[in-house]
Structure 1
Amino acid sequence: MTQTASHPGALAGVRILDMATVLAAPSGATLCADHGADVVKLELPDGSDALRHMQPIKDGTPLWWKVVNRGKRGITLDVRKPKGREIFLSMLPKFDVLVENFRSGSLDKWGLDIETLHRVNPRLIVVRLTGFGQTGPYRSRAGFARVFEAMSGFTNLTGEVGGSPLHSNFPLGDSIAGIFCAFSIAAEVARLRGNPDAAGVEVDLAATEALFRMLDPLPVEHEQLGQVRCAAGNRTSYTAPSNMYRSLDGVHFSLVASSQAVYVRLCKAVGRADLITDPNYDTLPKRVLNIDSLDNQFAEWFAAHRYVDICAQLEPYEIPFSKVYDITDIKADPHFQARQAIIRLPDADYGSVPAPCIVPRVMGRDMPIPRSGPAVGEHNAEVYAEFGISEEMLSALRDQRVI
């Protein structure tokens, strides 16, 4: 790994070539860019990446693209063409990581199989993020976040009892897979940094498995207890009370009292100390067993009080709860403001655009604000010049539709 002082952060000096499309794998590369990696975003010359055409779009400008691909330099290259493949392979020795998410076998078909990639760069980390992995009968299936969420068992946990399972209005499956992508890169970079003789690897990351990995208790509770966890509305089947409640003035808020100590404080806060020693509710297993009767009593109390009064009762007892925020609440909240949870990315079209802050924070390290995602081929001249490709050659490659 090279070291460059111009990119502060734990991944400074790491160079990543992100040729993935849409959301999951590119978001993983972006997380690395947030922490100092030099990420080059490779697209087809026609700018056909689906994320460029998904809402939100303003006056033809893809806003989602700007924030998801922040901190990257953008180039175009068609690796399916012989000249494009040649240029691609000539660049790989200068990169530490390649991120791709094409269907299994696609790169092989283009003459970019793992043996070829490692022949030109033996230490290359190749992260392949697909829906179902590089092996198995589903390896060539197409997939998007909702498919991953449904197949992993995640979606089966959402929705009302007896009703249809529910998807969120956000591709959470892609984001979780992206986090695993960033983790994979960081883990392998750490391995290579610790051993200058270590070889590169092929990382087989299945988005469906990434989601399933988050659901630790599902297999063991099924084997040992014969239980199949399913939707429970806004309640939980593993602790109580824990639900979405509604105040007298119509405010929805989430409250969790998982531990015995918090449960005791909650009972005192709402003037129901009798529930602490009630033999139906005095332990967590009993509370879960009698969740309906217990939860209804709290729901009735909350429904009879305004939210501001509920806050006044709960906060002195340090009860974990929160109003269900939308983006206007997040922007107005003094804690988010104090933490600068929303940062502004420098942007060529709008001057700057808002986006979530860099996560995690490292105490004593001020991370630079990344710029918004690049336009199609915005950094072609800059990046290709680093590989000795002249402007005249770039012009010829444009004429050939290679870039």
Structure 2
Amino acid sequence: MDSSPPFKAPTPAALAGVRVVEMGQLIAGPFCGKTLGEFGADVVKIEAPGAGDPLRNWRLIKEGTSVWWQVQSRNKRSVALDLRQKEGQDIARQLIAEADVLVENFRPGTLEAWGMSPEELHRLNPGLVMLRISGYGQTGPYRDLPGFGAIGEAMGGLRHLTGEPGRVPVRVGVSIGDTLAALHGTIGVLTALYHRKVNGGQGQVIDVALHEAVFNVMESLVPEYSAFGVVREAAGSALPGIAPSNAYPCQDGWVLVAGNGDSIFKRLMDAIGRPDLGAAADLADNAGRVARVHEIDAAIGAWSAQHSVQQVLDVLGAARVPAGKVYTAKDIVEDPHYRARDMLLTQETRDGYSVEVPGIVPKLSATPGTIRNSAPHLGDDTDAVLTEAGLTAEQIALLRSKGVIQ
């Protein structure tokens, strides 16, 4: 089967010339590699021979491979390399010596045990930008504990706020802790690359903990506790302290309404036939509306329950009140706005079928992200990458015979 890349970059790539070695698996590290690859970085993904990254087999499988994998690993090259063997570690060091960025999300101490501590790698490659994502960070009393995204969400304060008051905390529905860590890691990589460019070419280590990435987006959680002793609690679909902002029932579903601006609130009340609330002096600002939020929510809910979702959206759209329905995957795929902004792309896989996948974010005007290559089979690029690193065909064949590569 032809595994040649089906995509070509039509515009200059912002990160062209940046070489990334990805030594992570599953979500956090690889999502960072995905993001860098979409903007032109050459991402070499090191996977264990045999099964490779477990994400290859997560959730729904088509033609033997997860469709999630097709998104997470596009624009990457796969090298199947056994890092438990010394010869595999030597090859990894050889690849890292020529890289700009190393991304890893092993438990702290794993790279050190393989002779790849930051100190050793920076002696080998002083300009290396090294991103380390872990559950609790590279320091501190919890550093050696195993950490997953869900645990980071709990420790970061997010899980306490998700769900209905008094009921079991629920997960967001996606691996948000891992993704937040990956995005913070990407910011760190780009910042460090810029610093390297303007400050003498020195690399550095970026230490991202899953729970800290979550904690960083927790808004006023700690300041409110510090200043007032208030512990913020779960509030279901409402936005505590901001009114009105909630989900409201319709005849055929739910609609989210954000009517918390002063002028927006007046337009919202006129639209639902409650101008008395819109004109109330004590509801002219957010503080007053918060004090009567249950009354306001009841009024909006009583109105919305008499209409379909689309009818509610039509009325509120005409009144210039922010509102939206709760989208499913089907809604997203059928929405013209998603397609108008290239947020749904058809991606050809190396297994011979096409699949619709999310587009690329953020959107750059001069150097937009692109899908240049489909996600690789395990070890698709082992020979090519090792040849680029200077190994001969005979050396590669010997490594394969020993099981060091696949």
Output the TM-score relative to the length of structure 1.
Answer: 0.95
1:304-323 alignment runs, 5 A limit = 304-323=306-325
Counterpart selection for 1:73 from 47, 65, 77: 77
1:364 CA drift (Å)? 4.2
2:219 is matched with which residue? 216
Query: Of residues 194, 211, 236 in structure 2, which corresponds to 1:190?
Result: 194
Measured in 2, the distance between the counterparts of 1:390 and 1:384 equals 8
Moved more, 320-329 or 304-313: 304-313
Cα distance between partner residues in 2 of 1:367 and 1:159: 35
Q: For 1:33-52, what per-residue CA distance to the aligned partner results, in whole angstroms no more than 9, with x for missing partners?
A: 11111111111112342212
Hey, what does 1:269 align to over in structure 2?
271
- Cα deviation, 1:364-383, whole Å, max 9, x if unaligned, reads 44543232321111101111
Question: CA deviation digits over 1:196-245, x for unaligned, max 9?
Answer: x2321111111110010011211101111211111101111121111111
Question: Is the CA contact (8 Å cut-off) linking 1:235 and 1:243 kept in structure 2?
Answer: yes
Residue 172 of structure 2, aligned match among 168, 171, 174: 168
Offset from partner CA, 1:58-79 (integer Å, 9 cap, x none): 2421221121111101101122
Q: Against the structure 1 CA distance between its residues 348 and 106, is the aligned structure 2 distance closer, same or farther, given a 3 Å change threshold?
A: same
Aligned to 2:241: 238
Q: Aligned equivalents of 1:75 and 1:353: distance in 2?
A: 24
Counterpart in the other structure of 2:330 = 328
1:386 to 385, 388, 391: 388
**Distance (whole Å) between structure 1 residues aligned to residue 392 and residue 346 of structure 2:** 34
What letter corresponds to residue 327 of structure 1 in structure 2? A
SS in 1 for 2:283: coil
2 CA distance for matches of 1:216 and 1:314?
Answer: 28
Q: Map Cα deviations across residues 257-301 of structure 1 (whole Å, 9 max, x no partner).
A: 121121111112112111123244222111112211111111111
**Match of 1:205, SS?**
strand
SS in 1 for 2:24: coil
Tell whether 2:151 aligns with 1:151.
Answer: no
Amino acid at match of 1:170: V
Aligned to 1:375: 377
| Aligned counterpart, 2:5 | none
Q: Label 1:333 to 1:7 Cα distance change in 2 as closer, same or farther (>3 A).
A: closer
On the 8 A contact 1:132/1:141 being kept in 2, the answer is yes
Larger RCO (alpha carbons 8 Å, 6+ apart): 2
Contact 1:97 1:185 in 2 (8 A): yes
Q: Structure 2 stretches of 5 or more lacking a match?
A: 1-8
Q: CA deviation at 1:391?
A: 2.5
Cα distance in structure 2, aligned partners of 1:130 and 1:67: 22
Structure 1 residues 316, 207: closer, same or farther in 2, change over 3 A? same
Query: 2: CA distance between counterparts of 1:61 and 1:182?
Result: 26
What residue in structure 1 maps to residue 22 of structure 2? 18
8 Å CA contact 1:132–1:207 kept in 2: the answer is yes
Q: Residue in 2 aligned with 1:346? A: 348
SS at match of 1:115: helix
1:266 is matched by which residue type in structure 2? Answer: L
Aligned residue for 2:133? 129
Give me the identity figure in percent. Answer: 36
**Across the two proteins, how many residue pairs are aligned to each other?**
397
1:123/1:306 Cα in 2 relative to 1: closer, same or farther (>3 Å)? Answer: same
Alignment match, 2:299: 297
Give the structure 1 partner of residue 6 of structure 2.
Answer: none
Distance in 1 (CA, whole Å) between partners of 2:240 and 2:359 is 33
| 1:41 paired residue number | 45
Give the SS at the match of 1:370: coil
Native 8 Å contact 1:257 1:319 kept in 2: yes
Instruction: Spell out, residue by residue over 1:128-174, the C-alpha distance to the aligned partner (whole angstroms, 9 max, x if none).
Output: 00010001111011121111111110011111111111112211111
1:385 and 1:160 mapped to 2: Cα distance?
56
| Residue identity matched to 2:160 | N
- Contact 2:74–2:375 at 8 Å: present in 1 too? yes
Secondary structure, counterpart of 1:160 in structure 2? coil
Unaligned runs of 5+ in 1: none
Q: Give distance in 2, aligned partners of 1:309 and 1:84.
A: 62
Match of 2:364 in 1: 362
Give 1:332 shift: 0.9
CA contact (8 A) 1:8 1:367 kept: no
Indicate the residue corresponding to 1:104 in structure 2.
108
**Greater mean deviation of Cα atoms: 207-216 or 281-290:** 281-290
Preserved CA contact (<8 Å) 2:350 2:375: no
| Deviation readout 1:53-106 (Å, 9 max, x if unpaired) | 211212421221121111101101122211112112222221000011111111
